Chain A
Amino acid sequence: MSKSRRAFLADTAGALAGISLLPRTLDLAPVRLVEPVRVGLIGAGRQGRAIITELQKLPDVTIGAVCDTSPSRLSSAQARAPGSQAVEDFRAVLDMEDIPAVFVATPTHLHREIVEAAIAAERHVYCEAPVAATVEDCQAIAGAAGASSRVVHAGFQARSNPVYRRAQPLFQTELGNLISMGGHYHHKTSWRFPSTEADGAAAVNWRLDPEVSIGLAGEIGSHQLDVALWFRGTSPSSAHGAGGVRFHRDGRKVPDTVHVDVAWDDGPSFHYEATLANSFGGRYEVFHGSNAAIKLADSHGWLFKEVDAPTQGWEVYATRQQFFQDEGIILVADATKLAAQGRLKDGVGLPYPSLYYALADFLKSVTEGTPVACTAAEGVRSTIVGILANQAVISGSSMDLSILE
């Protein structure tokens, strides 16, 4: 039996070579701002508490106030941000003259009122993503942000993540012809939260309330779709979806498993799959091209080159490693310098979680005027795709995305 040249090359190379994508400079020291800044947190649920944790690592930041309508969450947040003032009404935070910047981490459907009020009070705003739960709210936030001189940053973290920033230009230069795009989110969890307050269960389980929830496609998928929108730089034209409750049969209406195809007129679709019923594979995005594939998984990323793809000069510096069945290449930028400083032992992942970089980007925009890493307009665009993708899942039909034009 004769072998094709393509098969021979694949055998010889042990299939694809994986190149680990790491930022050019692994900056291990905490981000410093040009001046100290006091900030307020509005919404102290899981994401709010995660924001506190990362803000504590920024030496120039003081959390002046935390806000939540739930006494137990407020108490927990204050324990995580010692010295902060705890208030139940977000307007009290906006009244504090010494707090120029706020983080909005309430349930998605409550963002609009708070963001609009914060912008009206001339505060800089970091709005967690997805930005809102309806197209109308998205447009209102985009309008208010567009008319404001303050920083309004949408919390799509990938845009600040050094691994994704490293990958974005490679998407343009290394992939060749774009063949397919995909996103994957598998996490076995109920998405249901208990409440310590008598009437709190409905409020904390807003993700499972079909009246306000934008489902997996919106809440999680919009983050992963944002990577595709950012890398492609153009807007998709339609979304088709399907889904259902495959495992958590506890009376919920919001699907625990979804499949979405978001289509571009000028190229391949982004296929998205998410489930709360299985954890295998976790969360990642993958982009396939004729020369290479890029896989991104939060703190790690890889470039898998086809054996017939042109070799770039920088690959010479890569370190080889067995990568499952393939011989891969790990590229650790600044490896010599890091080794000399004894820092390689810190590992090859990111020195900080991706949320940290998004928060730091926002605060640098506030204090130094650096460009906003993810503007309200960009965040609204990806959010609308997520909202309409969820509607496609619910309806089982196609949704027109021409509203993005």
Chain B
Amino acid sequence: MGTRFELILGDQGDPTWLRSIGELALEEIRWCHERFNRFSSSSLLTHLRRSKPGSSVRVDRDTFALMRSARDVCHASDGAFDPSGGRAMADLDLDEDHSTITLRGTGIALDFGGIAKGFALDRAASVLREHAVESAFLHGGTSSALGIGTQPGGAGWGVSLSEPRSGSNVFLQDQALSVSAAWRDNPNPTRDPRTKAVIPAPRRVAVVGPTATLADAWSTAALVLGTRPPNLGPEWSVSFA
């Protein structure tokens, strides 16, 4: 995923115990990286892309869930979020009963860069919760973040969306945040996957909701659409700047 992940564990537990849990959570993030790194010759994603067209590849339940989420948001956003580069995930068959993925063509450009960070945060948060951590803040590259419980002291985990000194304007309590942005003079500007049109810049959108995986996907969709995605549920908040 090519970025730095950080964890803050707010519990007042034994530091040795907390360190071991933090290491386990970071290992989960590393495992996500190893699965979805499109630049690695040995990642699961590369294995999928190398697989013979029409052959089914078995994957674990988590990977399957990620693929399903990606497909669902792709369809719900009318292709504004599309890890298949504008093909609306049409070349991807998902068989839930057998937990298999089948690619129907060759040269399919699958890129989960827009969702993998959030997925990794959700997986890491799951590890922390399994070990009864009730207060934690996680982020990947500062653009994807997740808060578990509250900060020591009672408030949600505060995040500033603008200048660092301007104070927090989002408080995450068992919620995730994803920020997507299009900047001026970007040599590789963000494009609408459906039309390949460059997204007007500057544009920035912050999405807050229940999971980091979906927050990542929906913030990308919102950035492309330039408005709140019509099919986004009420549990999600969207703010543009």
Q: Across the two chains, which residue of chain A brings its CB closest to B39? A: A347
B41 and A79 within 8 A (CB): no
B residues 34-55 near A (Cβ < 8 Å) are 39-42, 44, 46-47, 50-52, 55
A351 and B41 within 8 A (CB): yes
Determine, out of B56-64, B77-85, B149-157, B177-185, the stretch whose residues face the partner at the interface.
Answer: B56-64
Q: How far is the CB of B232 from chain A (nearest CB, A)?
A: 28
Residue A52 lies at the interface, judged by CB distance under 8 Å to chain B: yes
Q: How far is B20's CA from A348's CA once the two chains are assembled, in angstroms?
A: 34
Binary flags per residue of A112-140, CB closer than 8 Å to B gives 1, else 0: 00000000000000000000000000000
B60 and A82 within 8 A (CB): yes
Residue A202 lies at the interface, judged by CB distance under 8 Å to chain B: no
Residue A352 lies at the interface, judged by CB distance under 8 Å to chain B: yes
Q: How far is B28's CA from A53's CA once the two chains are assembled, in angstroms?
A: 13
A52 in contact with B60 given A82-B99, A194-B21, A350-B41 (CB within 8 Å): yes
B16 and A192 within 8 A (CB): yes
Partner of B40, one of A190, A196, A347: A347
Binary flags per residue of B1-13, CB closer than 8 Å to A gives 1, else 0: 0000000000000
Q: Across the two chains, which residue of chain B brings its CB closest to A205? A: B20
Partner of A56, one of B19, B55, B59: B59
Q: Across the two chains, which residue of chain A brings its CB closest to B58? A: A56
Residue B131 lies at the interface, judged by CB distance under 8 Å to chain A: yes
Q: How far is B39's CA from A36's CA once the two chains are assembled, in angstroms?
A: 31
Residue A28 lies at the interface, judged by CB distance under 8 Å to chain B: yes
B20 and A194 within 8 A (CB): yes
B20 and A80 within 8 A (CB): no
The number of chain A residues touching the other chain, given as a range, is 20 to 34
Q: How far is B57's CA from A347's CA once the two chains are assembled, in angstroms?
A: 21
Which residues on B sit within 8 Å (CB–CB) of A348? 41
B61 and A194 within 8 A (CB): no
A194 and B17 within 8 A (CB): yes
A190 in contact with B60 given A299-B42, A353-B42 (CB within 8 Å): no
Q: How far is B52's CA from A30's CA once the two chains are assembled, in angstroms?
A: 9
Which residues on B sit within 8 Å (CB–CB) of A250? 16
Residue B90 lies at the interface, judged by CB distance under 8 Å to chain A: no
Residue A294 lies at the interface, judged by CB distance under 8 Å to chain B: no
Residue B201 lies at the interface, judged by CB distance under 8 Å to chain A: no
Which residues on A sit within 8 Å (CB–CB) of B51? 30
Which residues on A sit within 8 Å (CB–CB) of B163? none
B60 and A53 within 8 A (CB): yes
CB-defined A-B contacts under 8 Å, sample of 11? A53-B60, A56-B58, A82-B98, A83-B98, A190-B23, A192-B16, A194-B20, A194-B24, A196-B130, A349-B41, A351-B46
Chain B residues at the A interface, C-beta cutoff of 8 Å: 16-17, 19-21, 23-24, 27, 39-42, 44, 46-47, 50-52, 55, 57-62, 64, 98-99, 130-132
**Closest 4 pairs (CB-CB, A-B):** A347-B41, A82-B99, A80-B60, A79-B61
Seed contacts A53-B44, A351-B46; 18 additional CB < 8 Å A-B pairs: A29-B52, A30-B51, A56-B57, A59-B57, A79-B61, A80-B60, A80-B61, A82-B99, A83-B98, A189-B23, A190-B19, A194-B17, A196-B131, A299-B42, A348-B41, A351-B41, A351-B42, A351-B50
Chain A residues at the B interface, C-beta cutoff of 8 Å: 28-30, 46, 52-53, 56-57, 59, 72, 79-83, 189-190, 192-194, 196, 250, 299, 346-353, 356
